[in-house]
Amino acid sequence: MADDWQMPEGELMKGKRGLVMGVANDKSIAWGIAKQLSLQGAELAFTYQGETLERRVRPLVESIGADFMVPADVTDDASMDAAFAALKDKWGKIDFLVHSIAFAGKEELQGSMVANTSREGFRRAMDISVYSFIDCSRRASELMTDGGSIIAMTYLGAERVVPSYNVMGVAKAGLEAATRYAARDLGPQGIRVNAISAGAMRTLSLAGIRGGKSLMGTGRDWSLLKEDTKMEGVAGCALYLLSPLGQSIAGEVIHVDAGFHVVGVPQLDE
């Protein structure tokens, strides 16, 4: 996170506890969201993918005065059981969940989707990027005994064709549909489920996409605001959806991309 982080402090999340899944380093979208939630008084628990990441994530978690971190590999039921059991032991109930997890192999994230998508690559992308959201929503909702709010992270590649995004676009389309069905299933329990469609941002995940950096350049040059998507904007939208400000919003996909998604023909400088 840049040192020029300027998000408002306050008490919008005071008394609320939640789980953040998907911090890999200080550039992760999940970390930007966590930082903003913490500035608004939320108590946070974190999962991390494995030992290598623990070393990077622990100092971040400690920097905001949190201490609860458990490993969780979303492809491994035993690991998920253990993580949610630890969370239940610690707090009993939670108020929100941030799901900020996705994966597809490098071989899938280039060239032709038709040529490069293997059955195993497809299965893995859908398992980690879509099924995990369904699974986490079920597990988290069991702890949301007073209602709650769940968010997932998606991208425009779900709706439109983007170079190299390929099977991840297919997965994100599935994730957005899953968001709507989860919102239907959990709505009667007072649990709101929504997704944020962020513009391209410089994270580890973007680095895995062939030509990923050019997605950022195009996003900036074509966007209505003529600027990169800011972490502050994504984190602010997450705060809105996870706090009481977002009440009555369910099954929604909100674009936080400097207006890039509405452009048909770009207004380029002459």
Ligand X SMILES: NC(=O)c1ccc[n+]([C@@H]2O[C@H](COP(=O)([O-])OP(=O)(O)OC[C@H]3O[C@@H](n4cnc5c(N)ncnc54)[C@H](O)[C@@H]3O)[C@@H](O)[C@H]2O)c1
User: In the range 120-149, which residues lie near ligand X by CB under 6 A?
Assistant: 128
The torsion of the CA quartet 83, 88, 89, 91, rounded to 10 degrees, works out to: 120
User: In the range 202-231, which residues lie near ligand X by CB under 6 A?
Assistant: 203-206
For helices 77-91 and 132-143, the axis angle rounded to 10 degrees is: 20
Least CB distance to ligand X at residue 175 (A): 8
Q: How far apart are the C-alpha atoms of 29 and 102, rounded to whole Å?
A: 12
The span of 59-67, 153-161, 186-194, 236-244 binding ligand X (CB under 6 A) equals 153-161
The span of 8-16, 58-66, 71-79, 260-268 binding ligand X (CB under 6 A) equals 71-79
33-52 footprint of ligand X as x/- string (CB under 6 A)? ----------------x---
Binding footprint of ligand X, residue count (CB under 6 A): 27
| 165 near ligand X, judged by CB under 6 A | no
For helices 119-126 and 166-186, the axis angle rounded to 10 degrees is: 40
The closest alpha carbon to 154, from 177, 127, 182, 120, belongs to 177
Q: How far apart are the C-alpha atoms of 70 and 61, rounded to whole Å?
A: 11
The span of 33-41, 69-77, 112-120, 242-250 binding ligand X (CB under 6 A) equals 69-77
231-270 footprint of ligand X as x/- string (CB under 6 A)? ----------------------------------------
Least CB distance to ligand X at residue 106 (A): 13
| 179 near ligand X, judged by CB under 6 A | no
User: In the range 89-108, which residues lie near ligand X by CB under 6 A?
Assistant: 100-103
| 74 near ligand X, judged by CB under 6 A | yes
DSSP string, 82-94: HHHHHHHHHHS--
Q: For the chain, what is the radius of gyration of the CA atoms?
A: 18
SS3 per residue for 27-49: CCHHHHHHHHHHHCCCEEEEEEC
Nearer to ligand X, 14 or 123 (CB): 123
**Residues labelled as active-site residues:** 155, 165
Q: How far apart are the C-alpha atoms of 156 and 261, rounded to whole Å?
A: 7
| 86 near ligand X, judged by CB under 6 A | no
The span of 5-13, 36-44, 143-151, 198-206 binding ligand X (CB under 6 A) equals 198-206
Nearer to ligand X, 104 or 191 (CB): 104
Nearer to ligand X, 13 or 196 (CB): 196
| 113 near ligand X, judged by CB under 6 A | no
Let me know if 259 is exposed, middle or buried by CB neighbors in 10 A (0-12, 13-18, 19+).
middle
Q: How far apart are the C-alpha atoms of 249 and 63, rounded to whole Å?
A: 32
CA angle, corner 208, sides to 252 and 264, nearest 5? 50
Q: Which residues bind ligand X (CB under 6 A)?
A: 22-24, 28-30, 49, 53, 72-75, 100-103, 128, 153-155, 198, 200-201, 203-206
